[in-house]
Structure 1
Amino acid sequence: MPAATQESEVDDSDFQRERAKFYELIGHCITMYQGLEDYLPTVFAAAIGGPTDRAKAIFAPYRGLEAKLEGITAAVSGGDQGSRDRWERLRPLIRAASETRGKIAHASVLHRGGGHTVTLDEEKNVVSVRRTAKSRMELRKGRKGTELVWDNDKLFEEYGRIERARELSIGLVRRLTGQSVPPHLDDDPPASP
């Protein structure tokens, strides 16, 4: 009979910090997206021009994300080609952020307790229990026969995508209002050599 391989024990002492980070990332994704959506009237106001209060009052009746995006598209249509191009690249990022925010907000949290190896003696008494895999947190959302799963890494990626959409929104407003656009707020494709 071959000798059993000994699995090494893993240290799971940082789990509390990882769990806190997990919940923080969920909150960041949801609130960062809300900040992005709350910024849309500013994008509209910059695109339409004129007094900001008047532009925001015109935008206020738009309900639902699609209507808001359509309103901004109409407002940007009077701008320069570069601004229109930037908006056409930004619009799907905002839509994707909205869809993901909804999935994250309505997903279920799952705590995976990690793996354990139990060693028994000849009489089936427990000799030792070793943790062989770390605990982890997951956010799960079932969807049409598939399941979406987020862990800390995937939530951090999503946070980065939402943050990028917010940055590009700020850059577009700066461009529409005639201000300089720092490189980190722009998405101009690199010039061809």
Structure 2
Amino acid sequence: MSSNSPKSPEMVALLQQRMMFFSQAGQCIIEYQGVEDHLENVFAAALSGPKNRADAIFAIARGLEAKLSLIDASLLNADAAYRTRWQELKRRVTQAAASRNQIAHSRPVSTSDPIFVEVSNDPEKPGKAWGGGNPRVEIWKKMKNGDAKWTSQDLREEFLRNKRLYTHVLVFEMDLRGAPVPDHLRNA
């Protein structure tokens, strides 16, 4: 069986690697969405009024910047410590949103080590090709200053950043409400 046959061990391994890679990309997008969805709860806690009133106001906001601006406004009279924490969270949410957009709007690129070809002038002697090992999948997003490239390791790190960010947004919301925060969340 040739190495480019659909059922060759090499092709099966490459297809499994691609499925795992795209699963990682999806996990990053979904984990980020949890962060953005939780901003409504942060707004409600900062407003400290009836939740249905806060939800109705927040539902009017379209786009991330509008949502972040609503939270900024709701924290105008909050303690300086809360405003400082929020500014850091806001910076991280904005960065996570930019990364999410790069991942979601990237194109897949399959790469490998270089392939070398030796061509023979003798019709009796076939040419040779070697290399091309270490196949991998990346996603690339064309940017103003070049391509942004995401590897499997980059996606793993982004997923973990988003997971930590979600926890920090949740803890911030709980602190705003005056709710007790479990140690496992506080220390995450």
TM over 0.5: yes
| Greater Cα shift, 131-140 or 163-172 | 131-140
| Greater Cα shift, 54-63 or 73-82 | 73-82
Corresponding position of 1:42: 41
1-structure distance, mates of 2:184, 2:74: 24
Corresponding position of 2:99: 100
5 Å-filtered alignment, 1:147-162, equals: 147-162=147-162
SS at match of 1:134: coil
What residue ranges of structure 2 are gaps of 5+ in the alignment? 1-8
Q: Deviations over 1:117-173 (max 9, x none)?
A: 567889573487555521100101111241111110011111122222211110111
Whether the aligned pair in 2 keeps the contact of 1:86 and 1:187 (CA below 8 Å) is no
Q: Percent identity?
A: 34
2-structure distance, mates of 1:48, 1:97: 24
Aligned length, in residue pairs: 178
Residue 64 of structure 2 is aligned to residue 70 of structure 1? no
Pair 1:187–1:94, CA change in 2 (3 A): farther
1-structure distance, mates of 2:127, 2:186: 61
Q: CA RMSD in A?
A: 2.7
2-structure distance, mates of 1:33, 1:95: 11
Pair 1:60–1:187, CA change in 2 (3 A): farther
What residue ranges of structure 1 are gaps of 5+ in the alignment? 1-10, 189-193
2-structure distance, mates of 1:109, 1:185: 35
TM-score by length of 1: 0.79
Corresponding position of 2:89: 90
2-structure distance, mates of 1:181, 1:86: 16
Whether the aligned pair in 2 keeps the contact of 1:44 and 1:75 (CA below 8 Å) is yes
1-structure distance, mates of 2:63, 2:29: 17
| Equivalent AA in structure 1 for residue 109 of structure 2 | L
Corresponding position of 1:163: 163
SS at match of 2:60: coil
Pair 1:184–1:75, CA change in 2 (3 A): farther
Corresponding position of 1:181: 181
| Greater Cα shift, 79-88 or 65-74 | 79-88
Corresponding position of 2:140: 140
Whether the aligned pair in 2 keeps the contact of 1:29 and 1:155 (CA below 8 Å) is yes
Corresponding position of 1:23: 22
Pair 1:161–1:113, CA change in 2 (3 A): same
| Equivalent AA in structure 2 for residue 104 of structure 1 | I
Whether the aligned pair in 2 keeps the contact of 1:115 and 1:134 (CA below 8 Å) is no
TM-score by length of 2: 0.81
